[in-house]
Structure 1
């Protein structure tokens, strides 16, 4: 786009005051009571759509768009538009140009109001049928933020063409002085609250709520309540209640909060604490398996995650009755291959066939949503395997294995397994406890 002159972005930073530098119910990018400075009336007379790409770090409602009209600009009809990041038109409004009080910042109501998701890109723009828009070159040479609103570097956008052309082009990091006016809102209600029993403990889990800054957990011993807060200021989406007692029925609810308020409580999550061990399979003998005729030394295992914090204190694996009768060492690894714990199984016949449980030393505390691997070393091969078992993810709450989560590694005992083959399952699993 053609410009009269280059304006220093540093000068813009020094002279332009953000419209929101503190908590308030309406967020904007600039102070809409004074003229932008420095800024110029562009001499371009070609019809053009000019705007800004932005996002909000908190959910809200976009109900107005504001743009600056220079007193020397043509008195023409202007249309404002709101777009998704992909160019879908979400709302629009029309301003019929006139003089008098409509010189300077012009605010238009949108039809309809647009709910904004936190952390999502949107574009607001207006159509100048005879050009002559207000512009500051170099303003968006770097990212710009004002409270919860932010604009990326090069966030000023334009498009030549008829009204309603989605603006995607940039020129010289220009700012066209268009902004959203966003009514800020409390976060959404947390969804899918669930609880898992442990030994004198309960682990509570919920899905992240849009716009949440912190969470609080409430507890009752009756489904009808009353519910009392037992944790607050949480920034994670899982919490371990170590004050719960075995045999007592508890009901949990979760609320989300941000600067602008607190959500409604989630649906109730019931649980009765008791010593409980969790594993990936609940079958006495796996089906569709065979003992591999591979005779090379190999480490085989599974990569897993838990949705709540807890401990892994043992590893189970399935030993085919025809497998070699040899010592097997089990391992627990973190995602980077650091060995966290080991255990030793001394192979023998008879009752030593089938599922084997090997205690780990030491017990290992594991974090939610974090990848770990359990495995065992088969020095003469003969491991149990099922191909195509992990074509898709496998879930047995609170544990899950992502697609291709069965892993192996040839080499000496203690080689971290990272390879996968035909989405195979080697029938190895953690013994996980909330506490």
Structure 2
């Protein structure tokens, strides 16, 4: 028989049910016809205490487990806030017979409170109120339990199936606790044994749990944010003021998603070498607790100078303390762009990066150049240790700075070295940078991962200003330099204005203009016209001072341009004889009379050779008086064609004078074209007069050819080089 109310029953009310009726024989119900029950309380508002994990209408999926054994069953829980436990509860099935003992335990098994349940109902939730409430700490594990002799209620796998936390009370996926017998229920289970706790929040409190930079911190990076954390979430209405020298520091304050962290992000870098004061006021927790005004001061690091440079001066890591406790040496590859010296080693320290830290400077071959132990460290932030003797380092040479973190927890920013990073005179290359080596003794950090910056750094002092010449173009003393050249000079560093650059050719000034390159290191002179050929060119550079004040003495150097391009000419280039080999077998000297219209020199004698023209051929050059002024023997001849012999010394000719060029053919068979020279033939400055030309002389040994016949061309020629192009 089922009675269905027309509306939901009211909560936390005792109802009485009465049955009446007769059986089929007419006998009325005499026993068990009346009983009472109480309805559950409605669920409490979220977060309002007294608090429990279960509402009163919660029921188990297994009303009574058939296991008939003495057990201690419980639930492991923690509270988000401090407060007190006033009692414990459990769900009772009909056969879970009294007496039942309730206990509150610490996580290590100490009994904090205990009592016996009284006035139990036949089934449903039973509550034990402790004679004295127990104060508990926030975020600390406790166990509430009761002791049963069997037939307990349960919901198997309840904690693993869903999160049964009910703030401010929290449970995990294995919050079920049990023990056979009467001892501490240390065993864990994903099942719920329907055990609960009654919790009252303590009076709301609010404290500042951390602040960064810490009070009194020094050498604070100027890019730092100001961060304050609180023990509880806070409400709007707070005020954050940051000042330096009595002047406000502009920036933006934000409250983190958890409501427990305030972050002040300055609009620009904090002032250098300055005391910065932070004032936080009007802070109230969401539970109503107020925090007195908080004020503290820290000091920023000095601005970088040429004598006090670092790579990461005002940079802070993305992760201040990596979750890695293994001992490791971490470091950075760097190179200076100027000569100088390393005076100190630095590293960024986060929470947990404890132990003795030792800094090292290495060359790339793994040789340790310096070592120093850090002392008087602060709790966090940049730490610095001065070397007992500074280490000289060279421009353009790579080094590694590192430190040993014996307890790990080093600072990192991943992918920091995906691109090269430069600051002042220091550069950290991209790629294989961010070095490490695991091991208790540390050592040369040769490995890299993810271009990670581990925030190991140096203090670098630039050497005194110097300047030198690194390149001259053309080089001093260069010869056959193109006339189109733009002379230039390059320096080891950038130069200031006030310089002068001039060029002369054979002592005469060269018109043009000089300009400084965009990087300030190269002066280049551009002539208005091409430099003269075959000239001695001198370049003078004066008044050169580097951008940091180093003076360079006046620089002068010279070079020579290519000689003028002179084209040699001949009378019969490209001409071939009608008769390559005559049938005349007599020894004979044959030649050509010619003149030049310009000054110049004969450099070689030529003749055309046909088959049969054998023997040793000797070429000669004669003046108008019949004097032989040059002679040369032909060597390395080909079988036929034009042959040429270069004079040991070119012979200068006088314009307008008549000369004869000839060669001796000891076996005749010379080449000829009759009547070819009836008219004058002119090629460039050379002319073979027409008429009585084409000269010959028979006889062994030859001689000046002074006869002519039929203006015949015997194909004897010169190579002539004019004195100027």
Q: Match for residue 469 of structure 2?
A: none
Q: How does 1:224-303 map to 2 (within 5 A)?
A: 231=253, 233-235=255-257, 239-242=263-266, 250-253=277-280, 259-262=286-289, 264-265=291-292, 267-271=294-298, 276=302
Give 1:311's match in structure 2, choosing from 311, 315, 318: 315
CA distance change for structure 1 residues 209 and 102 in 2, over 3 Å: closer, same or farther?
farther
Preserved contact between residue 105 and residue 143 of structure 2 (Cα < 8 Å): yes
Offset, 1:40: 0.7
Give 1:355's match in structure 2, choosing from 343, 348, 363: 343
Q: Does 1:403 align with 2:420?
A: no
Q: Deviations over 1:373-395 (max 9, x none)?
A: x99873344443438x48x9954
Preserved contact between residue 18 and residue 30 of structure 1 (Cα < 8 Å): no
Give 1:122's match in structure 2, choosing from 142, 156, 169: 142
- Tell me the C-alpha RMSD between the 2 structures: 5.4
Counterpart CA distance in 1 for 2:240 and 2:350 is: 20
Q: Does 1:142 align with 2:161?
A: yes
CA distance change for structure 1 residues 153 and 270 in 2, over 3 Å: closer, same or farther?
same
Q: Match for residue 114 of structure 2?
A: 93
CA distance change for structure 1 residues 160 and 396 in 2, over 3 Å: closer, same or farther?
closer
Q: Deviations over 1:143-194 (max 9, x none)?
A: 42333233323322211122xx1113356x4321111233345464123543
Q: Match for residue 167 of structure 1?
A: 185
Give 1:81's match in structure 2, choosing from 94, 97, 104: 104
Counterpart CA distance in 2 for 1:367 and 1:17 is: 55
CA distance change for structure 1 residues 254 and 167 in 2, over 3 Å: closer, same or farther?
farther
Preserved contact between residue 68 and residue 106 of structure 1 (Cα < 8 Å): no
Q: Does 1:386 align with 2:371?
A: yes
Offset, 1:135: 2.1
Preserved contact between residue 18 and residue 29 of structure 1 (Cα < 8 Å): no
Give 1:63's match in structure 2, choosing from 73, 86, 104: 86
Q: Does 1:113 align with 2:117?
A: no
Q: Match for residue 51 of structure 2?
A: 27
SS of the aligned residue for 1:30 comes to coil
Q: Does 1:156 align with 2:184?
A: no
Preserved contact between residue 66 and residue 180 of structure 1 (Cα < 8 Å): yes
Counterpart CA distance in 2 for 1:98 and 1:376 is: 78
Q: Does 1:36 align with 2:68?
A: no
Preserved contact between residue 62 and residue 181 of structure 1 (Cα < 8 Å): yes
Q: Does 1:429 align with 2:457?
A: yes
Counterpart CA distance in 1 for 2:349 and 2:198 is: 40
Task: Structure 1: state its 5+ residue gaps.
Answer: 1-15, 223-229, 279-283, 285-301, 314-333, 359-365
Preserved contact between residue 96 and residue 152 of structure 2 (Cα < 8 Å): yes
Offset, 1:38: 3.3
CA distance change for structure 1 residues 187 and 368 in 2, over 3 Å: closer, same or farther?
farther
Preserved contact between residue 159 and residue 176 of structure 2 (Cα < 8 Å): yes
Aligned residues: 331
Offset, 1:214: 8.2
Preserved contact between residue 29 and residue 145 of structure 1 (Cα < 8 Å): yes
Counterpart CA distance in 2 for 1:214 and 1:375 is: 48
Q: Match for residue 183 of structure 1?
A: 200
Offset, 1:108: 2.0
CA distance change for structure 1 residues 357 and 71 in 2, over 3 Å: closer, same or farther?
closer
CA distance change for structure 1 residues 121 and 18 in 2, over 3 Å: closer, same or farther?
farther
Counterpart CA distance in 2 for 1:356 and 1:136 is: 65
Counterpart CA distance in 1 for 2:444 and 2:44 is: 54
Preserved contact between residue 255 and residue 261 of structure 2 (Cα < 8 Å): no
Preserved contact between residue 142 and residue 154 of structure 1 (Cα < 8 Å): no
